[in-house]
Amino acid sequence: MPVIFCKKTLAKINNFKKEKLQGRLLMVFIAAYFLSISAFMLLNGMWFSPDQFIIAGLVLALFVAKPLSFLRDWIPFVFLFLSYEYLRGLAPKLGMGVHIYPMIHVDQFLVGGVLTVNLQNLLYTPGKLHFYDYLFSILYMMHFILLLVFAFFLWMKRRHEYKRFVVSTITLAYAGFITYVLYPAMPPWMASDDGIIPHVTNVVSDTFNSFVQNVHLPSVYQFMDPNPVAAMPSLHAAFPMLVYLFMVDIFGKKARLFIIYPVLVWIAIIYTGNHYIIDTIFGILYAYAAFYAVKYFYKRKERKEGELTPAPAGGEARN
């Protein structure tokens, strides 16, 4: 008997190790897949849009034999996000006055001037791109790719958390949209173009214009009209923060090191001339609000479902 027990135990341990190794290899494959596609698109001056991502994700879902499940779970998410992007383009057409000076005054109060101008005077060289220009430009573009890749990871490994993350993302996006309608805010590059603040270079445009752009993939985004006065709050600041909050909530203290990524994105969006300090702060606050509001909603929902669950026959429900 002891010998049989030991053999069964060893078999379980080996199966567990094998499944764990397979899971890690799958995650490495997923990461390599999306990194290679992302690198290709960025080098061609593009970035993932939700409709392009669903095609890339579907191809990967075919490898793990979950195409129907992928379409069922992702099409509503992509549809809602595309709806947000479409509505975001309508915001400046509603006739609300554009706010310019409050964000500038906050920068001046905090750092004695416009931080974007200060950083570019210190780091940017006209006509010459440094490694950090490429780094910050890629970080600026990657915020959305990271959001989708992290959602895909949750869909693969933690389906319940994927749903909560999607609800949090959509909540955050539409909260931003409502703010854009009620409080249109001019970004630094536009204020510079209008002569309101000293010269600011659109570093992202300069950087991606230096890449060879000979590939153009079809996307419904080409029919979207971007909102140029959607600086407050910065969803570029908010989305990486939302990912960080979920990582810490799911994986604990070991995920806290990921805070380096959001911080670099926050520096990037200010340095490249797309946001002021206060835009970034409000983006972070919106991420916290969306995360905890949705978490509270799900906990309350689970508690109500637990109360409605009938007690087992022949005994009382356990506390």
The number of helices, as runs of H, and strands, as runs of E, in the chain is: 12, 0
Cα 148 from Cα 34, distance rounded (Å)? 10
Nearest CA-CA partner of 93 in 188, 220, 229:
229
Residue 226: phi, psi to the nearest 5?
-65, 150
Give the model's pLDDT for residue 207.
82
Of how many residues is the chain composed? 319
Per-residue pLDDT of the chain (319 residues; tens, 9 = 90+): 555 545 555 454 545 445 455 556 656 766 676 667 666 666 665 566 666 666 666 666 666 657 777 778 877 877 777 777 666 666 656 656 788 899 999 999 999 999 999 999 999 988 888 888 888 888 887 777 788 888 888 888 888 899 999 999 999 988 998 898 888 888 999 999 889 999 998 888 888 777 655 555 555 555 555 666 778 899 999 999 999 999 999 998 888 999 999 999 999 999 999 999 999 999 999 999 999 999 999 888 878 777 666 655 554 444 3
Is the Cβ–Cβ distance between 45 and 209 less than 8 Å? yes
**Structure token digits, residue 265:** 């994105």
Residues 43 and 36: their CA atoms lie apart, in Å, by 11
Q: Are 269 and 234 in contact (CB under 8 A)?
A: yes
Q: Count Cβ atoms below 10 Å from residue 239 Cβ, excluding itself.
A: 25
The pLDDT value given to residue 241:
95
What is the per-residue pLDDT for 315? Answer: 47
Nearest CA to 133 among 213, 60, 207? Answer: 207
Cis peptide bond upstream of 233, omega within 30: yes
Contact 244, 258 (CB under 8 A): yes
Tokens in use for 148?
């989708």
